[in-house]
Structures are given as C-alpha cells and as structure tokens.
Amino acid sequence: MTKTSIEKPAPSNSRLSVKNVYTSSIKWSIDRLTIVGELAPFLPAGYTTNKISGEVKSRITIEDMFKVFEHFGHCRLSGNGYQMITDDGENVAYFERLKFDKNKGRLDFNPNKLDSFFENGLKQFISDLFITPHFSRADIAADIFDVPDEKVVSYRLGEPVGNTFFYGKSGDLQTAYFGARSSEKQIRLYNKRIERIKKGRIEDLKDPEQCYWRLELQLRRGRADDFQKQVDESLKHFYSPQDFPDDVSVNSRIFLKGLLADPDNWARISRPTKSKYRQIEERVASSDKLTIELKKTFSQQNKKIEKELKNWLQTFQVL
C-alpha cells in the first residue's frame, strides 16, 4: 500500500552516526486515550452560553457546546464528529456519537494537551459529558530522535501477527503496522518528521532535517492496565535483521528473515522450532542497540507514565 509522500530526507540524515544517538534521544509518553460510554442528554449550566444566537441556556446539549467551540475556532466538523483544535490548529481530540447507538459516544484525546480547554479540568468535562464513561484504549509512545532513517526502517516485530506497510513515492517506508487494527495490541512505527511536515506543522520540529520516528503501542481494553508488561514483551521481539550477533548462524538468519517477511510461516512450523527461533529472536533483540536504548529509557521513564495512567484507570472503568 502506498500513501502520498514528500521528498526524501536530506542526505545529511543518512550520515548521522548511530553510535552517537543512544543517550537521551528517546522520550516515552502517553500519546492518546479513548473514553467511550453513554452520553448525558445535557451538560450542566455554566459550561458556556450559545453565543451564536445570543440565547443564554440553563442547560445545553453536546452539539450546542461543540457549535460554540467551532464558533470560536476551537473545533471543526470532521467525518461524523468534531475535532478539537488548539489556537495554532493542532488536533488534540476527536468526539463522535457512535453510529450503532446515538446515545453513546467516543472521545479520543491527548490528555496532555486537552486539559487546557476546560476551566474545571478535563476529567470533570468527561464526567459531565458521559453518564457511564469507560476507558477503552491507551497509546504509549516512544519518540526516537537522530537515528538514521535507513536504520529505523529495517526494524520489525518478530511475532506471528500481520504486518501492513505504507511507502512514499520514493519507495521509502513511512509507516509500519504490526498487528490487526481490531486486536487488543497494535504497534505502529512511523516517520514523525514526515508526518509533521505533511500536516503543515513544521514549526513543531526543532530541526526539520532531524531524523524523528515514533514507536507507538496502541493498547485496548485490559492490555492498557498491564502496559509495562506489554511494552517489555514487545521489545523482546523488536529488532533489525541488519544486526545479527556473530554467533547466529547463516541458516538461522535466513530462517528468521523468512519469518519476518511472512509472519504466517509461524503457523507452519513445529512447536519445538517455534521455541528455538523465539529464543534466538530474543537474543538478537537483547543485543540490538536501539532496542537496548528503548528498554533502558522505558525503565527510566515508566514510573511517570504509570502514575498518569493509573490516575485515569482509577477514574474510569476499563472496558
């Protein structure tokens, strides 16, 4: 599959030394949360007034509220719902009523950026918006800086899950998905520098020529409550086949590359063979420089993520 691309990164990106980047070049964070549930028919008084018509309402509907946001440039129609945007046009949330039940809705948002929208806090807004809010998804992201593009694009997840790749016009990989979209865990690796430029947000980049990728674990339902284990387990099988340890035989390298190229092959091999190559994969990943740094920085930063995520999980029931 191919998506429209922009030009390839400047040649200077490919000359960056991989050895110099494995220090403080990775930042972990909660990128996105999703709340679903039955919607309140009205929002309580005091949220806003309908300034479009000049009529002051003691209670307003959800649609009234979004119309006011739209009037003041903080919201726009998008598909079947509304995008909430910052003053400089960045999308920080999406709300829609569910197609199969208009009394229920979904709010998908960046918790670090949406909070400033509401005087009484984001959690209060969600509590007022939903009668029965349920937490359904969390995206845990690692921002990877300064690792050369041609290095990052070689990484694969050595698990028996489907892969989907999107390439630019120049043939460069821009986005890779590991796992099905409907599964409880899906991993996305994408060129964040390209994504920012394509969205017209080059000002978000400290250096437009700096290599910048994001590794994102999309965890649904109960998987989000166990995010540390999910990250650790995924990184056990995340590696580049360009960097096999010297003690991995040629036959094993060929076998592993075949499994990476077609994950369906996992179902065609015997249980002992699966066990053998899973162990080899874990050994390869444990010596991979980027994977080592991902594990190290996650270990250093996960307490902050855990505290923030638990705060949300304790507030809303996991669905």
Q: Residue 123 belongs to what domain range?
A: 32-243+288-316
Say if 125 falls within a structural domain. Answer: yes
pTM over 0.95: no
| Cα–Cα distance measured from residue 140 to residue 305, given in angstroms and rounded to the nearest whole number | 8
Say if 306 falls within a structural domain. Answer: yes
Say if 183 falls within a structural domain. Answer: yes
Task: State the sign of the Cα–Cα–Cα–Cα dihedral 202, 206, 209, 211.
Answer: negative
First-to-last alpha carbon distance for the chain, in angstroms, is 32
Say if 274 falls within a structural domain. Answer: no
Residue 266, pLDDT score: 95
Residue type, 116: S
Say if 260 falls within a structural domain. Answer: no
In 92-127, which positions are buried (b, 16+ CB within 10 angstroms) versus exposed (e)? bbbbebbeeeeebbbbbbbbeebeebeeeebbebbe
Say if 14 falls within a structural domain. Answer: no
Element (H, E) at 311: helix 289-315
| Cα–Cα distance measured from residue 25 to residue 215, given in angstroms and rounded to the nearest whole number | 13
- How many structural domains are present in the chain? 1
Say if 166 falls within a structural domain. Answer: yes
Please answer whether residues 190 and 175 qualify as being in contact, where contact means their C-beta atoms are separated by less than 8 angstroms: yes
State mean pLDDT over 227-245: 93
Task: Render pLDDT for 152-190 as a digit per residue (tens, 0 to 9).
Answer: 999 999 999 999 999 998 899 999 999 998 889 999 999
| Cα–Cα distance measured from residue 171 to residue 8, given in angstroms and rounded to the nearest whole number | 9
Say if 25 falls within a structural domain. Answer: no
Residue 96, pLDDT score: 95
Residue 15, pLDDT score: 36
Structure-model confidence comparison of residues 49 and 46, the more confident one:
46
